């Protein structure tokens, strides 16, 4: 199977290395791209015009790797991105997996509107003059001190515009019949529980 793993805010393709190893050991093809302006591509920060830049990143990865029947996985902010990708190329996507992911259900819905008030306040406090938001909330991502130290070392500032703008949706994302939502219960207060409940209605 072809897996494309899309990271969340402040992260890069590096964050999937343990999952990547497990999936490859099972014989799957795995691609873990880093989106523009983040991780090893952080020098391209000024090229990010919003989340649609990242949608185009992932579409290009699928296109130039000639991938078919893709299992498209999005974590957190990456949930918005995989939805945008499915909207543009549903014929390439076999199934979608949201891991604590934002799931836009309307065109141009920003991630900020789906977050909790507490998380939105933290994000605002972490805003920098250069238009980025510093990595924060590490204790929600892990309870392991070594993992937290690793995340603090690896994460990079994220363009604030990505949380304030939504992705373009054509409605074609609905053509991807199989969708799975994975909820990480340790993440509290979690905006993703409300998203899951909305999807279950």
Q: Which residues are catalytic?
A: 76
Closest of 160, 46, 157, 151 to residue 111, by C-alpha: 160
Q: How far apart are CA 78 and CA 163, in angstroms?
A: 11
Q: How far apart are CA 83 and CA 178, in angstroms?
A: 13
- DSSP states of 66-116: T--SEEEEEETHHHHHHHHHHHH-GGGEEEEEEES-----STT--GGGGS-
Q: How far apart are CA 99 and CA 97, in angstroms?
A: 6
Tell me, what DSSP letter sits at residue 64?
H
Residue 19: count other Cβ atoms within 10 Å of its Cβ.
16
Q: How far apart are CA 3 and CA 72, in angstroms?
A: 6
The two structure tokens encoding residue 63:
């296109």
């Amino acid at each position: 199977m072809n897996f494309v793993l899309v990271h969340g805010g402040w992260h890069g393709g590096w964050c999937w290395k343990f999952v990547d190893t497990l999936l490859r050991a099972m014989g799957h093809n795995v691609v873990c791209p880093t989106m523009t302006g983040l991780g090893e591509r952080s020098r391209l920060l000024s090229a990010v015009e919003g989340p649609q830049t990242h949608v185009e990143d992932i579409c290009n990865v699928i296109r130039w790797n000639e991938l078919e029947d893709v299992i498209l996985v999005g974590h957190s902010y990456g949930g918005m991105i995989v939805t945008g990708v499915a909207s543009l190329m549903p014929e390439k996507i076999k199934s979608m997996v949201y891991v604590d992911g934002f799931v836009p259900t309307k065109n141009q819905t920003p991630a900020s509107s789906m977050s909790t008030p507490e998380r939105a306040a933290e994000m605002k406090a972490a805003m920098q003059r250069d238009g980025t938001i510093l990595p924060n909330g590490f204790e929600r991502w892990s309870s392991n001190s070594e993992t937290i130290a690793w995340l603090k070392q690896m994460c990079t500032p994220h363009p604030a515009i990505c949380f304030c703008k939504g992705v373009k949706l054509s409605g074609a994302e609905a053509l991807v019949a199989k969708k799975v939502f994975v909820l990480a219960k340790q993440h509290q207060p979690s905006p993703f529980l409300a998203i899951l409940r909305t999807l279950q209605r």
